[in-house]
Structures are given as C-alpha cells and as structure tokens.
Structure 1
Amino acid sequence: MKPQIYILLILFSNLCFSQNVENTFLSREVSITKWIDGTLLVPKQNETNKLAIIIAGSGPTDRNGNQNFLKNNSLKKLAEGLTYNGIATFRYDKRIVKQIRQGNVDNNIKFDDFINDASDVITHFKTSNQFSEIYVIGHSQGSLVGMIASQDKVNGFVSLAGAGQNIGDVIIEQVNNTAPMFKEDTEKVVSILKAGKTTNDYPVALSSMFSKDIQPFMISWMAYNPTEIIEALDCPVLVVNGTKDLQVSVKEAELLKQANDNSNLVIIEKMNHVLFEIEGDDLENSKSYNESFREISPTLIENITNFIKS
C-alpha cells in the first residue's frame, strides 16, 4: 500500500470515529450567569438522570481545558468520554475567559469568585430538575473550588489532579524543587499572605507568583486547606491522580484520601496533568499540553464512569 493512501485511511478512520462519538449525544449551549457560559452534553440513545459538572484548573482556562497557547482539549475529551458512556456533562469557561474576550478584565478577582461561579452552576442544574443526581469533577485548582462548592449539594465529588496541601505550601515545595535558593524568601512571603497581609518584600525572581496585584488573589486562595474541606464532604468521593503528573504529585492525592474516610483513591499509571498517558520523558510530557490529537486516558474515563454509575 502506498504511504499516501495509508495516511489517508488513518485520517479517515479517525474522522469516522470522531463523528460516531459526536452522534451519540446532543450538545447545547447554556448560560448560567453573565460571566458563565458552557456546553451541556446529553446522551441521545439513553435518557440519564446523572449529570457531571466539570470545573477547570488554574489560569484563563476555557471549557475545553485550553488556554491561549496551550490547546489539548482535555476537558472536552473528558466530557465526551463520559457522555458517550451515558452520563450527561456540563463544562464551562472560567469567568476570566469571558472577561478577556470582552476586554473587561476584573483586576480584583478573588478565589471566592470561582467558588461562587461553581455554586451557581450546581444550583442552576439542581433547580432545573432535568437531572436528579449531580456530580462534580474538579481538575487541578478546580478540585478545591469544586469541593468547597459541593458541600451538602451533590451526590458525589471527583478530585482530579487536585492538591492536598494549602496552595502556599505547594508553592514552597515547588520553589524548593526548582530554585532552592529562594525557599527561605518564599516561606516568608507565604507566611505573610496566609496572615491576610500583602508585602513588597520579595525577590524579583518570584514576581510571577507574588507581585502586588496578584497577592489579594493568593491571600483568598490560601485561606482554604483542601484536607479540611474534603474531610467535611458528606458524599462519595473519588480522588484521582496520575504517576506522570508534573504539577501535582501522587502524594497530594494521598493526603486527600487520608482526610476523607468515605473516599476512594485511584492512581493511574503514566497519566499526566492534562489527562494523557505519556510513555516517554518529561519533554514529551510537557509538549503534550499543546497536543490536542492525543487520546485522553481510557482508564480515567472508566474509573469516573464506574464511580458515578455505582
């Protein structure tokens, strides 16, 4: 077979698979508030009473899991995989995404704004009576956002690559691993921010994390300890992490598991932070953040599906 024909057959088969998957669900745009728009996917063939709300991680992340220069469609693939398995999904753009598109960025945005947005989404679908069971899947920063918003409101919660430590302690650990000469300075700044105060006393090298305009947001984020929040969750909990996650270690997932007796822990071999299974080294891992052609971990879809349907 000629190479050109072989390549065309591969592309055609991939296109057919994509179309077959998309033909299994209905897609609808839903506006929750003036800042929150998202996509609702509902299975076509089988009616479902189960909805999974997917909350994105840090930064200006859209409903598909993408940022300006990083397109991997990880959250879109997660949503489609679950809906293909008979679970309705709703994923939404973070409010900062819409603000950027409209050229109206709120420089006073706080971590609590993300919590309020997630709570509004949960309330919207609880009062719509379209689904009798609501589940929340929080990815990365969205894990903490989701577990706070889910208190006494949902049928189950999934922490996906979420930190177990306070974000201040995570930052200290990351700095110690990458630039240990700044560890002492970082500890001092984090201590001040945890006390609810701002400071000008930080090295220029750390300005991307601690610049004066970022500090109010960091203060609001550091006010929450994930282990304390997840301990109070009175619903089934699934904690998931991957062994090739460059941003959130397996240790963080273990901390969350230990804090909640009603939780299950799943560690997925070779899965990275954007939910792809990586065979190679850290370079391949990093490049995958901008490789939308990759398949999301089938093991992840299977475990979340089983959790929600059990």
Structure 2
Amino acid sequence: MKKVILSGAFMLFSLFAVAQETPFTLHTPTGDLFGTLTIPETHHPVPVVLLIAGSGPTDRDGNNTINLKTNSYKQLADSLLKSNIAVLRYDKRGIAASHAAYKSEADVVFTDYVKDAVLFAKTLKADKRFSKVYIAGHSEGSLIGMMAAEEVPVAGFISIAGAGEPAGKTLRRQLARVPAMAPTINKMLDTLESGHTLKGPIDPNLMALFRPSIQPYMISWLKLDPTQEIAKLHIPVLIIQGTTDIQVSKEDADWLKAASPKATLVIIDGMSHIFKTAPADIQANYATYQKPELPIRTELVQAIRKFMR
C-alpha cells in the first residue's frame, strides 16, 4: 500500500454529545489489571482500540512519576471518541493501579505483558458493545501489541513509534555515546542475548539497566525482533511515525514497513514520541514531555480513524 505523509491540521467532528468513561478491570491469575474504557453512548456496536502503553512506569494516560506528564493516551482516547471509536487503555502489571499484579521484578518477562494484552483483547471481542477490535501499541507497546495480534484474531494492528530492530541493537547504538563504557556494555548485552544472566559485580553506573532483578526480563526482550513479529501478521497494519521523535526514528518505521509490505506507513511531520508538535532539538523536545496541556497531533487521529474505516 502507499506511503502517506501528513502535515497540517484536520478538523474532527463529534458524532455523539454524551460519552462514558468507565473503569475496566481484568482479572488474571496473578492479580487484577486496571484500565479506563472510553465509549460513545449509543445503542449500536462501535469499534474499539486496545491501547498499549510504552516502556517504563508509564500509566494508562501516558504519564509517569519520573519524567512524563503528557496525558497523550488520554487525549488520544478522547479524540477517537469524537469519531465514534471506543478506546480501552490500561496500566500494565506493576504500573500505577495495577502494581499489585507485579509480585517482583525478577518474576516478570516480556511475554507476560503479551499475555495480558491477549486477555484484554479477548475480553473486548466477547463484549457485544463492540463491532470490531483493533490493537494499538506505542513504543515498546508496539512489540507487545503485534505479538498479541498474532494470537487474537483482531481487525487490525496499529504501531505508533514502534522500534524496528531488536532492542540490543538500539541499546548498543544509544550507549555508544559513552565510548568508555561501550566494550563493557557490549559484552554484557552479548551475555544476556545468549540467554544467560550476568556474573560478577555490576558497575554502579550501569545498575539501572543491568541490575540482577531486571535481567530475566532483558533476556526475554532482547531475543525478539519486531520485523520478524510484524511479518507474521496477516491482518491490516498501520505504522505511524513522527519526524521529530528523539527516541524512535523514521528508519525504524521503514524497517517495519519493509517487513510488512502491505502495511500503510504514515509519517507525521514534526510529531514527537509523545504524539505532540516538537522541534528536533533534544532539550526543547524533552521539555514538551512536561507539558500535558499541549494537544496531540490531529493527523495521528486522522490516520487511525481512516485506517479503521
């Protein structure tokens, strides 16, 4: 399918004046996961999007207590609502309201998040309020979402700022900015990629990334290749990427598109990793991560709405 480049504004219109935003709870064997369902008030079934958050302690609204106050996911849900599209967004296990479903960091691997997404998708599919179910994943949530879409027959998959290469390659490239540590980091990644935990003491400067309790998760994550996973999908796929995203590049989107030739690729000029207008300058770009009042790009909503129709 053709590649689409969007810039400029798109006027959305409201089809329903009244809507519902209700709590949503998923019961799992290891604890409850909590989310928010935004749904139009209508007597007819509507399409619904399962929105999966990115990495770190990012909650259902697109915020965390460390460095994010964006409300990006909430804004996306509110915007799609105006197009008569429901959205279920949730706190992943261990995050915000779902913290109790996370017994210990050492017990969680990447596929646990995939299993949770599968359960959410199956629950939505069984709900007669919804005509079709789509899965959308942001950043790390893109890989979670595409793997969930392999297991649940959904209507389509949407990748927003998803990585297009194995995490090990991305980490090596990012950490290469600290040349003195590069040999040590590469060796540690080699060990984890081989499926083994690290032996011996860990440099305190690297503890945040390589602490013992996170290593099982890292091992499960590093072996995955997003291009291999997206190639397994035989459903409509939409890949969305912003040009001023300082965390995931347009090149990542191109890799995903090459692996899924029938996918629609949408490049949004000037959109950052958090769906908002931002400059390419790193400091100025990061400054927008603390401005929840900034609106998300309407081209993002337009692309999703067009894909779902």
Contact 1:46 1:86 in 2 (8 A): no
Work out the number of aligned pairs and report it. Answer: 289
Q: Identity, % of aligned pairs?
A: 35
Output the TM-score relative to the length of structure 1: 0.87
Opposite residue 78 of structure 1, the aligned amino acid is L
Contact 1:185 1:203 in 2 (8 A): no
Opposite residue 297 of structure 1, the aligned amino acid is R
Following TM superposition, by how much is the alpha carbon of 1:223 offset from its aligned partner in structure 2, in angstroms? 2.5
Residue of structure 1 in register with 2:185 after alignment? 186
Residue of structure 1 in register with 2:261 after alignment? 261
**Does the alignment pair 1:26 with 2:24?**
no
Q: 1:303 and 1:191, CA in 2 relative to 1: closer, same or farther beyond 3 A?
A: same
Q: Helix, strand or coil for the counterpart of 1:216?
A: helix
Runs of 4+ in 1 over 6 A off after TM superposition: none
Matches within 5 A, 1:1-310: 23-33=17-27, 34-44=31-41, 47-69=44-66, 70-98=68-96, 105-107=103-105, 108-151=107-150, 152-176=152-176, 178-200=177-199, 203-279=203-279, 281-309=281-309
Following TM superposition, by how much is the alpha carbon of 1:26 offset from its aligned partner in structure 2, in angstroms? 1.4
Moved more, 21-30 or 129-138: 21-30
Greater relative contact order (CA < 8 Å, ≥ 6 in sequence) = 2
Query: Which residues of structure 2 form unaligned runs of 5+?
Result: 1-13
Q: 1:223 and 1:121, CA in 2 relative to 1: closer, same or farther beyond 3 A?
A: same
Following TM superposition, by how much is the alpha carbon of 1:59 offset from its aligned partner in structure 2, in angstroms? 1.0
Contact 2:15 2:84 in 1 (8 A): no
Following TM superposition, by how much is the alpha carbon of 1:43 offset from its aligned partner in structure 2, in angstroms? 1.7
Contact 1:35 1:99 in 2 (8 A): no
Distance between the aligned counterparts of 2:147 and 2:183, measured in 1? 31
Opposite residue 26 of structure 1, the aligned amino acid is Q
Q: 1:104 and 1:304, CA in 2 relative to 1: closer, same or farther beyond 3 A?
A: closer
Q: 1:206 and 1:21, CA in 2 relative to 1: closer, same or farther beyond 3 A?
A: farther
Q: Summarize deviations over 1:114-152 as a string: whole Å, max 9, x none.
A: 111101100111122322311011000100000000115
Distance between the aligned counterparts of 1:113 and 1:103, measured in 2? 11
Opposite residue 181 of structure 2, the aligned amino acid is F
Following TM superposition, by how much is the alpha carbon of 1:182 offset from its aligned partner in structure 2, in angstroms? 2.3
Contact 1:54 1:136 in 2 (8 A): yes
Query: Which residues of structure 1 form unaligned runs of 5+?
Result: 1-19
| Aligned alpha-carbon RMSD (Å) | 2.1
Following TM superposition, by how much is the alpha carbon of 1:45 offset from its aligned partner in structure 2, in angstroms? 5.6
Pair member with larger Rg: 1
Distance between the aligned counterparts of 2:78 and 2:257, measured in 1? 27
Opposite residue 76 of structure 2, the aligned amino acid is L
Distance between the aligned counterparts of 1:46 and 1:296, measured in 2? 29
Task: Compare the two structures and name the one with the higher helix fraction.
Answer: 1
Q: 1:129 and 1:41, CA in 2 relative to 1: closer, same or farther beyond 3 A?
A: same
Moved more, 291-300 or 199-208: 199-208
Distance between the aligned counterparts of 1:21 and 1:294, measured in 2? 24
